[in-house]
Amino acid sequence: MVLQPLRGDGRAVSERPVHRGTPALSLIVPTYNERSRIAELIDAVFLTLERSGIDGELVIVDDNSPDGTGTIAEEQVPRYAPRLAVVHRPGKQGLGSAVMAGFLVGQAPVLGVMDADFSHPPELVPRLLRVLDETTVDLVIGSRYVRGGEARNWPFGRLLMSKLACLAARPLTPVRDATSGVFLVRRSAIDGVAIASGGFKICLELLIRGRIASVAEVPYVFTDRAAGQSKMNLREALGYLTQLRQLYAFQRFEGGRREIRYVCCDPLPDPAG
């Protein structure tokens, strides 16, 4: 998959005209069977953006959820138009391809990704954007595995698998949480980039195949979903192994190992302290 063209007119994403009123941030949320909290999430995202003074848009990409998630999201559009868009896909086609579909719809120079189940707190987004601006990096990642980060409510086996997945990617990138599902990236760093995998870990895919010259990790507390259907399954796990093999081959034979400026941010002060 390539981040172009946008529509049938052949224009690539990098060629889109920027009009007055273009949002500063396009936040992409892939969904599948999230009806119990999708309306709540939409409200929470826009409230957070408003309180932080961020002109952002939200793009929901729904893979034809049997529970009607896409319909519920569509019902919120009149309240937030033109800053809310819903993309309806014909079926479950993979998380990575859902994110890329959202990127094509988003208007902003900064693109973001988060989950719909509140495991990624909306309040994290303004801090990620602030770090992106202050450090001038190409990509900023919400990280569970740097100082101050944490994964809560996960069984030991799931936590171990997650950490092993990140460890397996360390020869590819200095990032500690390369499998993170919450991040912001500058459009200019991924315009025209070919994405070979439609798999689960789109952040890692962009890290290796994109023109990412600098990256920052921001600690946050991941809380496992309380409702909805987990996106992790055996097919996605096997897809990650395939993705790793492809990325190692790409780095060795095509892209080469690049020097990346790496920034690890300090955790936020403890309010109780």
Report whether pLDDT(185) > 50: yes
Report whether pLDDT(198) > 70: no
pLDDT bin (cut points 50, 70, 90) of residue 231 is low
pLDDT in tens, 72-90: 999 999 999 999 999 999 9
Percent of the chain beyond pLDDT 70? 85
Is 109 in contact with 183 (CB distance < 8 Å)? Answer: no
d(CA 57, CA 54): 9
CATH 3.40.50.620 fits 21-118, yes or no: no
d(CA 106, CA 93): 19
State mean pLDDT over 190-195. Answer: 84
State mean pLDDT over 92-110. Answer: 92
- First-to-last CA distance in the chain? 47
Is 178 in contact with 262 (CB distance < 8 Å)? Answer: no
> Residue 179's pLDDT is what?
95
Is 26 in contact with 124 (CB distance < 8 Å)? Answer: no
d(CA 128, CA 22): 19
State mean pLDDT over 200-223. Answer: 93
State mean pLDDT over 249-273. Answer: 78
As given in the structure block, the two tokens for residue 200 are 């689960």
> Residue 92's pLDDT is what?
86
d(CA 3, CA 195): 8
DSSP letter assigned to residue 191 = T
Residue 59 in 3-state DSSP? Answer: strand
Is 56 in contact with 49 (CB distance < 8 Å)? Answer: yes
Is 220 in contact with 144 (CB distance < 8 Å)? Answer: yes
> Residue 33's pLDDT is what?
95
The domain spans of the chain are: 21-118, 137-180+187-225+232-266
